[in-house]
Amino acid sequence: MKKHIIQTDNAPAAIGPYSQAIRIGDFLYTSGQIALDPRSGKFLPGEIEDETDQTLKNISSILQADGLNLENVIKTTVYLSDLNNFAKMNKVYEKYFSKNKPARACVQVAALPKGAKVEIDAIAVCSS
Q: Where are the domains of the chain?
A: 3-125
| Per-residue pLDDT, 44 | 95
| Per-residue pLDDT, 128 | 57
- What top-level class would CATH report for the domain 3-125? alpha beta
Can 126 be counted among the known catalytic residues? Answer: no
| Per-residue pLDDT, 12 | 96
pLDDT value at 112 more than 60: yes
- DSSP string across the chain: --EEEE--TTSPPPSSSS-SEEEETTEEEEPPB-SB-TTT--B----HHHHHHHHHHHHHHHHHTTT--GGGEEEEEEEES-GGGHHHHHHHHHHHSSSSPPEEEEEE-S--GGG-SEEEEEEEE---
Contact 66, 127 (CB under 8 A): no
Catalytic residue among 106, 123, 125, 126: 106
Its pTM stands at 0.96
